[in-house]
Amino acid sequence: MCKGDLTKRDREHMITIFLLGGLENPVGPSKLATRRGMSRAGALQKMKRLEEYGVGEYMPKKGLKINCRGKEIIENEILRHHVVENFFQKSLGMGFEEACEESSKLSSEMSERMIELINSSYGDDISCECGLCLDPPFAPEDLKECHWCKQLFEEGDNDR
Residue 50 belongs to a domain with what CATH number? 1.10.10.10
Round to whole Å and give the CA distance between 14 and 60.
18
79 in the same domain as 32: no
- For 30-75, how does the pLDDT look when each residue is reduced to its tens digit (9 = 90+)? 999 999 999 999 999 999 999 999 999 999 999 999 999 999 999 8
Single residue among 66, 84, 104 that ends a domain in this structure: 66
Give Cα 148 distance to the centre of its chain. 9
144 in the same domain as 96: yes
Is residue 120 a part of any domain in this protein?
Answer: yes
Is residue 159 a part of any domain in this protein?
Answer: no
Domain that holds residue 50: 8-66
52 in the same domain as 19: yes
Q: What confidence score (pLDDT) does residue 129 get?
A: 65
Contact 134, 82 (CB under 8 A): yes
Is residue 3 a part of any domain in this protein?
Answer: no
Q: Could you give the number of structural domains in the chain?
A: 2
For residue 98, the cross-strand partners are none
Is residue 17 a part of any domain in this protein?
Answer: yes
Q: What confidence score (pLDDT) does residue 141 get?
A: 75
What separation, in Å, do the N-terminal and C-terminal C-alpha atoms of the chain show?
Answer: 28
103 in the same domain as 61: no
108 in the same domain as 88: yes
Mark the ranges of the chain whose per-residue pLDDT is less than 50: 1, 3, 157-160
Q: Are strands 56-59 and 63-66 parallel, antiparallel or unpaired?
A: antiparallel
87 in the same domain as 114: yes
Contacts of 151 (CB under 8 A, 6+ apart): 100, 104
142 in the same domain as 81: yes
Single residue among 66, 89, 109 that ends a domain in this structure: 66
For helices 8-19 and 68-92, what crossing angle results, to 10°? Answer: 110
Record the pTM: 0.83
Contact 132, 145 (CB under 8 A): yes
Backbone φ, ψ for residue 139 (5° rounding): -110, 135
139 in the same domain as 80: yes
Single residue among 66, 85, 108 that ends a domain in this structure: 66
